[in-house]
């Protein structure tokens, strides 16, 4: 167990950040699943920028790797464009 004040504070901060990061990652994953399940192309095209924005924010804050973000965005864009 940590004894220094700064160590205890760091533990509190890390726990708070971890919860926030988990929330944003889970929200983005849910949005990706929702986008993949859509069948209407117009609706999917409208929802795609919101999902891409979420992914970009995760990559910017280093919650996911930037190459992973690019990969996911590319796949989602291809998925939406291939809809009939």
Region of residue 62 (left: phi > 0; alpha: psi -120 to 50; beta: else): left
pLDDT tens-digit profile, the chain (84 residues)? 789 999 999 999 999 999 999 999 999 999 999 999 999 999 999 999 999 999 999 999 999 999 999 999 999 999 999 997
pLDDT at 54: 98
Sorted by where each starts, the structural domains of the chain and their CATH numbers stand as: 20-81 (1.20.58.110)
What is the tally of helices (H) and strands (E) in the chain?
A: 3, 0
pLDDT at 2: 85
Contact 28, 54 (CB under 8 A): yes
How far apart CA 16 and CA 35 sit, in angstroms, is: 29
């Amino acid at each position: 167990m940590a004894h220094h004040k700064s160590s205890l504070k760091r533990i509190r901060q890390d726990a708070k950040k971890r919860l926030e990061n988990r929330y944003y990652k889970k929200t983005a994953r849910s949005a990706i699943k929702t986008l993949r399940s859509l069948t209407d192309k117009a609706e999917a095209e409208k929802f795609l920028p919101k999902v891409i924005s979420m992914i970009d924010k995760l990559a910017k804050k280093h919650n996911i790797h930037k190459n992973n973000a690019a990969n996911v965005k590319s796949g989602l864009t291809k998925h939406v464009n291939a809809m009939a």
